[in-house]
Amino acid sequence: MRLAPHSLSLGGASRKMIDLDDLAYFFECSPVVTPSDVPWEYAGVSLRFESGEDNLSCRMAPGEGELSLVWHQGSQKRLELSLNGYFDVKLESQSGRERLVAIPNQENLALFVLQLRPHVFVALGAVRQW
């Protein structure tokens, strides 16, 4: 199964909304929406990814512009970040590699990229869009 390019943009009317099934496939987990009585885009969704020694926890609420990530490798914390102002989230696939891209709503903020396979790769800025 390959991901089709999807994106969620609450500011742009012409984009197709990313769905929870695609996020579940990307992270290889069941998404947890809390609170469950509010659309996930605003309530937020929590996702986890585990592979080998890599453990990632991600929480995003694109409708609120929030994205956070914690990455552990074994017992060592490699990264913890919390971003605000990211209202456009999409999944991209090219040459057999999938990545999550969060695009800021302001020009002075950097593009955020998360790739999970074949290894974890996180970039904030200095990455071009496919």
Tell me the pLDDT tens digit for each residue of 5-41.
444 443 333 345 578 999 999 999 999 998 889 999 8
- For 116, the enclosing helix (H) or strand (E) is none
User: Is residue 80 domain-resident?
Assistant: yes
Q: Is residue 60 in some structural domain?
A: yes
Q: How many domains does the chain have?
A: 1
Residue 25 sits at the vertex; the CA angle it makes with 22 and 28, to the nearest 5 degrees, is 145
Question: What is the C-alpha separation between 15 and 9, in angstroms, rounded?
Answer: 6
Q: Could you tell me where the beta strands, DSSP code E, fall in 1-130?
A: 6-9, 32-33, 45-51, 54-61, 66-73, 76-84, 86-94, 97-104, 112-115, 121-124
The reported pTM is: 0.82
Whether residue 1 is contained in a domain is answered as: no
Residue 12: Cβ-neighbour burial (10 angstroms; 0-12, 13-18, 19+): exposed
For residue 100, being part of any structural domain is answered with yes
99-116 pLDDT, tens digit per residue, is 999 988 888 888 999 999
Range of the domain at 56: 6-124
Beta bridge partner(s), residue 103: 88
- Calpha distance 82→60 (Å, rounded): 10
- Domain membership flag for residue 129: no
Q: Does residue 130 belong to any structural domain of this protein?
A: no
Alpha helices by DSSP H, listed for 1-130, are 20-27, 40-43
Tokens of 34: 């809390």
